[in-house]
């Protein structure tokens, strides 16, 4: 089981941890979230920010980053979306815009209308060809939240909820969870890299071999905040393999010499 608890502290989780009841709630929330890993998303119909219907099954075939927010949130939700927007730019530059999708759904069914979701996306400089915002009715939200292990409870100020981005694989199964309002690009790009390059095609095919090389050699440079292809990894692997081959050849040759000398 993958446990994607980020180092970035989530204010709501910290507040919960400050009390015994909070400890129980925190444990329950994380257990629910982690328990969703491996579950398949149901075939639900959402309403897009443009008013059209979005079927979850349309995202099959590519990795999906799914986040649940509410537009009345003043701190955690905007922070998640803005950090996700920054990571999205890095992921697009690394894989291309057609390699993955992002879906953000408003869970406050009384207020998160398609119009408000559209305004929320615009306000936080999010959305695009591969990033859709959507609304839904209460039944649909409950089913979606249950499928991804997202826990939210109404409170005086709005809702108590975790800052969570769910990574979904190409088959529509929950792959991992990313927690925290603030996170660096690798928190998003690394699971995408595993899903895009990590085994969807046979390793002995040319395309599959290329994917495995990309998986190993696509690395993050914290100085630039970007990913790049590190040719030195291939070179080092080639040199190492060549040295092993030469050592094996030398060993076999010496063993043959020893065998011939013993016969004489």
Residues with Cβ within 8 Å of residue 221, at least 6 apart in sequence: 227, 228
- Are 205 and 248 in the same domain? no
Provide mean pLDDT across the span 5-9: 38
**Of residues 82, 103, 80, 77, the one with CA closest to residue 172:** 103
Q: Domains in the chain: how many in total?
A: 2
Which of 2 and 160 is assigned the larger pLDDT? Answer: 160
- 128 and 240 in one domain? no
CB 141 within 8 A of CB 170: no
Question: Looking at the domain assignment, is residue 35 inside a domain?
Answer: yes
The residue range of the domain holding 246 is: 230-263
Q: Which residues pair with 28 in a beta bridge?
A: none
1 within some domain: no
- Average pLDDT value for residue range 234-263: 61
Helix (H, G, I), strand (E, B) or coil at 55: strand
CA distances from 2 to 80, 160, 176, 191 (A): 21, 24, 6, 10
Q: What per-residue confidence (pLDDT) applies to 242?
A: 59
What is the H or E stretch that residue 131 is in? strand 131-135
Query: Which pLDDT belongs to residue 249?
Result: 54
| Lowest mean pLDDT segment, chosen from 70-84, 166-180, 186-200 | 186-200
What's the pLDDT tens digit per position in 25-84? 778 899 999 999 999 999 999 999 999 999 999 999 999 999 999 999 999 999 999 999
CATH of the domain at 166: 3.40.30.10
Q: Looking at the domain assignment, is residue 86 inside a domain? A: yes
CB 189 within 8 A of CB 94: yes
Work out the average pLDDT over 188-200. Answer: 87
**Are 55 and 120 found together in one domain?**
yes
Examine residue 254 and state whether it is found in any structural domain, yes or no: yes
Residues 245, 146, single domain; the answer is no
Summarize the confidence of residues 231-256 as an average pLDDT. Answer: 60
pLDDT, averaged across the chain: 83
What span, in angstroms and rounded, lies between the C-alpha atoms of 229 and 202? 22
Q: Considering the entire predicted model, what is its pTM?
A: 0.76
Residues 183 and 240 in one domain: no
Q: Do 236 and 208 share a structural domain?
A: no
Q: Does position 181 have pLDDT exceeding 70, yes or no? A: yes
175 shares its domain with 50? yes
């Amino acid at each position: 089981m993958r446990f994607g608890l980020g180092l970035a502290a989530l204010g709501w989780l910290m507040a919960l941890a400050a009390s015994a009841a909070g400890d129980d709630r925190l444990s329950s929330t994380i257990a629910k979230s982690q328990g969703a890993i491996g579950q398949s998303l149901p075939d639900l119909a959402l309403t897009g920010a443009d008013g059209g219907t979005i079927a979850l099954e349309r995202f099959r075939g590519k990795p999906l980053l799914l986040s649940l927010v509410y537009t009345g949130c003043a701190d955690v939700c905007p922070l998640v979306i803005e950090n996700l927007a920054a990571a999205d730019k890095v992921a697009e530059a690394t894989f291309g815009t057609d390699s993955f999708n992002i879906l953000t759904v408003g869970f406050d069914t009384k207020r998160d209308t398609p119009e408000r979701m559209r305004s929320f996306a615009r306000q936080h400089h999010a959305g695009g060809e591969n990033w859709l915002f959507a609304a839904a009715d209460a039944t649909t939200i409950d089913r979606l939240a249950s499928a991804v292990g997202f826990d939210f409870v109404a409170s005086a100020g709005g809702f108590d909820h975790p800052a969570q981005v769910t990574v979904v694989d190409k088959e529509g199964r929950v792959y991992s969870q990313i927690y925290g309002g603030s996170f660096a690009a690798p928190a998003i790009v690394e699971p995408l890299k595993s899903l895009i390059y990590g085994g969807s095609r046979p390793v002995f095919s040319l395309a599959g071999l290329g994917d495995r090389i990309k998986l190993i050699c696509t690395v993050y440079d914290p100085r630039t905040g970007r990913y790049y292809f590190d040719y030195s990894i291939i070179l080092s692997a080639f040199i190492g393999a060549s040295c092993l081959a030469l050592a094996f050849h030398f060993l076999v040759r010496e063993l043959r010499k020893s065998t011939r000398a013993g016969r004489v």
